[in-house]
């Protein structure tokens, strides 16, 4: 069973990787690019939000830090395309470092209070970037794009994002089966008891938080390069933070598959609706979707089907 599943996943990845060879329109590449990006964001958020139950509502901050760090490095040192793409890795590390410093005091706070601290944190980061000219300021940063045909350059970034998604999901898979994952689940169900059982809760939470900031940071760097122009309003948008949480919880927090399903469904539905309906009507249907799913599947889609299947 395990073998078949692995083979199926490998085939799926290979198909996704081969997709640009079909010479699709740039629109489809961009769309898939954003699906991958949201899968990365939701899955990494899941480390801290889903497994440990610490709902961070400021994850766009890490995404934005990665985006701005990459853009700044690229424009300051006039990096070549390859180096720009690679620069997103140290940018992700920077996001992880910020997560270490912020997480240390903030992860002591529990429940909704933690969520509010993270909202504040995201605002502080956004406003700092906006107010300090060196970091980008109110104008944002332009990046020089690759000197090759558009479709080729889009395909390259598509493949890179796909690679990052595969890596993120592999880490998520490992984490779910590791001691770290088990410890985080214990924290979620009862932190006091976990502590009494000699689980180093503070350390595990920080580890999960750092990990959950790292991948969004890299994704932010790639996103910045994809857009070639970034502005604080775009990458630090609170709606991104909220969307990440919703995607993960919608699919089912604390599971491997949940955030993937949530991210794919919500991105596809959002895109689909905006093609077929007037913008406001599309948003209304989108909102109604949240309501209907929550009423009928209050614990996420995964939980709903698992119960059905398991009897």
Residues that bind other proteins (CB under 8 A): 55, 105-106, 108-113, 116-117, 119-121, 123-124, 127-128, 130-131, 138, 238-239, 242, 246, 249-250, 253, 280-281, 283-284, 286-291, 293-295, 298-299
> Phi-psi region for residue 24, left (φ > 0), alpha (ψ -120 to 50) or beta?
beta
> Minimum Å distance from CB 197 to other proteins?
22
Complex with other proteins: residue 126 or 165, whichever CB lies closer: 126
CB atoms within 10 A of CB 83: 12
**Per-residue tokens: 167:** 């890596």
Complex with other proteins: residue 97 or 119, whichever CB lies closer: 119
> Minimum Å distance from CB 21 to other proteins?
38
CB atoms within 10 A of CB 192: 9
Q: How far is CA 9 from CA 15, 44, 166, 168, 287, in A?
A: 10, 19, 10, 14, 32
| Helix/strand/coil percentages in the chain, nearest 5 | 80, 0, 20
The DSSP code sequence of 240-301 is HHHHHHHHHHHH-TTSSHHHHHHHHHHHHHHHHHHHHS-HHHHHHHHHHHHHHHHHH-TT-H
Complex with other proteins: residue 23 or 280, whichever CB lies closer: 280
Complex with other proteins: residue 119 or 156, whichever CB lies closer: 119
> Minimum Å distance from CB 264 to other proteins?
17
Backbone angles phi, psi at 249, to 5 degrees: -75, -35
> Minimum Å distance from CB 72 to other proteins?
19
> Minimum Å distance from CB 299 to other proteins?
5
Beta-carbon-side half-sphere exposure of residue 299 (alpha carbons within 13 Å): 9
> Minimum Å distance from CB 220 to other proteins?
21
Complex with other proteins: residue 165 or 282, whichever CB lies closer: 282
Complex with other proteins: residue 1 or 279, whichever CB lies closer: 279
Query: How far is it, in rounded angstroms, from Cα 262 to Cα 81?
Result: 32
> Minimum Å distance from CB 275 to other proteins?
17
């Amino acid at each position: 069973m395990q073998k078949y599943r692995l083979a199926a996943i490998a085939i799926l990845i290979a198909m996704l990787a081969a997709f640009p060879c079909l010479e699709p329109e740039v629109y489809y590449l961009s769309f898939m690019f954003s699906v991958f990006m949201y899968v990365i964001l939701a899955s990494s958020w899941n480390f801290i939000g889903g497994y440990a139950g610490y709902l961070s509502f400021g994850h766009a901050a890490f995404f934005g830090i990665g985006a701005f760090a990459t853009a700044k490095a690229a424009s300051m040192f006039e990096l070549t395309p390859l180096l720009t793409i690679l620069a997103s890795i140290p940018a992700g590390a920077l996001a992880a470092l910020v997560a270490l410093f912020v997480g240390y005091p903030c992860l002591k706070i529990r429940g909704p209070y933690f969520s509010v601290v993270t909202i504040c944190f995201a605002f502080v980061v956004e406003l700092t970037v906006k107010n300090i000219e060196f970091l980008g300021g109110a104008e944002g940063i332009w990046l020089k794009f690759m000197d090759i045909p558009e479709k080729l350059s889009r395909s390259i970034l598509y493949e890179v994002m796909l690679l990052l998604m595969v890596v993120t999901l592999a880490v998520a898979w490992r984490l779910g089966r590791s001691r770290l994952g088990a410890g985080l689940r214990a924290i979620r169900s009862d932190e006091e008891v976990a502590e009494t059982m000699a689980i180093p809760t503070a350390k595990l939470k920080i580890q999960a938080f750092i990990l959950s900031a790292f991948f969004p940071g890299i994704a932010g760097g790639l996103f910045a390069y994809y857009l070639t122009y970034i502005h604080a309003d775009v990458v630090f948008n609170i709606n991104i933070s909220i969307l990440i949480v919703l995607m993960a919880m919608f699919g089912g927090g604390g599971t491997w598959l949940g955030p993937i399903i949530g991210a794919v469904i919500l991105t596809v539905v959002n895109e689909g609706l905006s093609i077929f309906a007037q913008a406001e009507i599309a948003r209304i249907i989108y909102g109604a979707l949240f309501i209907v799913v929550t009423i009928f599947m209050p614990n996420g889609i995964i939980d709903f089907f698992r119960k059905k299947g398991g009897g």
